[in-house]
Amino acid sequence: MCSVAKPIIKQIRDNREALDFFETVSLPAEDEKTQAIIMNFPTVYIHNWQDSGAFEVYVGETNNIFKRTRQHYDAALNQPGWRNKLSKKDASLFIIGHEYFNKSLTLDIENRLMHYMMSVERVKHVYNLRDNPQTSYYPMEEFDEIFGKIWRGLGKENKNLFPTESAIKDSAIYKASPFHKLTKEQEKARELIIQKVSEALEKEETKQLIFIDGEAGTGKTVLTSSTFYELYCQAEESNKALKCQLLVNHDEQIIVYEQIAEKLGLTEKYGKVVSKPTTFINNHSENDPIDVAFVDEAHLLLTQGKQSYRGENQLKDIIDRARVTVVMFDENQILTTEQFWESQILGKYRNQAKAENNHIALYKQLRMQVDFATMDWIDSFTKERCLKKIPDTFGGYDIKVFDKPELLDVEIQKKAKESVL
């Protein structure tokens, strides 16, 4: 099968004069095919500028790049926001075209560019509101190849703004981004959460619990990030006030969520929207509950007092301080005695959610792509403490036993280096 054609990537100064020159002088000097793709096909574009050494970007797609760009320039005269910065900063505009571009394909290209751009270390702000993932279209099967060529082409223009794909995918922000294309299971869960939240807020209900069960690798973090951001997008579009917090009792993960909130402008607009459970409990009252509290890694919540937390059950204290609490739970990942959940207490919360049709279970394994025999062997060993005969084919994985955790860490670091090479 022949490889798809290279994309057309043009970079110009981001102002009216440069756009006029590109339309009337530079583009007419190109070959007929290039002119046709830019003038008559949908295109994807990236406005970008630097502020204090960091990049800010806006990604979009359009059927008419010249008309759409001039609309942005016109809006800058009357509307506050990112468009105003184009005239004040040394901005540039990337225009991307391809012979396969249609509306669905350009929307998916736009979505992944937003996803990647937010994961770039030197990008401090992505101004897009939300993604718009597509389901089935032609040539969907060519998408990865087309996007790869676009990203590598952009990298040749600016490697700081467009680093390698491997660097992007190793980023913790990338892995937790709200711009991941959701599975059908995740989409269904997100729709149900948003529906339940909307109903509870309309009826002015309090202490509502939505309980999501899912093992490691079933996409709980992406579901949390995506639903949290979507609620803010919907509130902004409908001009409604929303008090929503994302809580996690994990030092590294809270940093990731804080960076996502900052890059998407949530911190700038709404203040601190990400915090640790203890901080949230100490700073909020039962008499003035917030609208929604998302709790990622809820199995890490404390069930007894520790340091600045003086209570006995963080989940109860959070529920008391929110109209709706959404928890992502995996009881197989409990690590310390302070996080130990007695089955009776855990069952109470789970059954409460089930009784109100607020329980969701995630089953699809996204992190490991293995056959049934391999997954059954792993589940039997980790959940039932039963060591079965190792399958003849272990799903493409190696199995090794280490005497010390340090030796395991050395092997993991070795594998990580090999994957980069």
pLDDT attached to residue 395: 61
Can you give the length of the chain in residues?
Answer: 421
- Range with lowest mean pLDDT among 34-43, 171-180, 361-370, 408-417: 361-370
State residue 2's pLDDT score. 55
Percentage of the residues of the chain whose pLDDT score is greater than 70 = 93
The answer on pLDDT for 342 being more than 80 is no
Decide if pLDDT at 304 tops 80: no
Res 1: pLDDT:
44
The whole-number pLDDT of residue 390 equals 76
Six-digit token string for 71: 């609309």
Q: pLDDT tens digit string along 46-96?
A: 999 998 889 999 999 999 999 999 999 999 888 778 888 887 778 999 999
Cα distance between residue 321 and residue 303, in whole Å:
17
- Segment 327-355 shows an average pLDDT of 76
Predicted TM-score of the model (pTM): 0.85
Give the pairing of strands 92-97 and 43-51: antiparallel
Residue 419: pLDDT band with limits 50, 70, 90: low
Domains in the chain, CATH or no CATH each: 8-170 (no CATH), 184-362 (3.40.50.300), 372-420 (no CATH)
pLDDT band, very low/low/confident/very high, at 26 (cuts 50, 70, 90) = very high
Which residues lie below 8 Å from residue 278, measured CB to CB, with a gap of 6+?
249, 302, 307, 308, 309, 314
Q: Which two tokens stand for residue 272?
A: 């601190």
What is the rounded average pLDDT for all residues in the chain?
A: 90
Question: pLDDT confidence of 363, banded at 50, 70, 90?
Answer: confident
Specify the pLDDT at position 421.
53
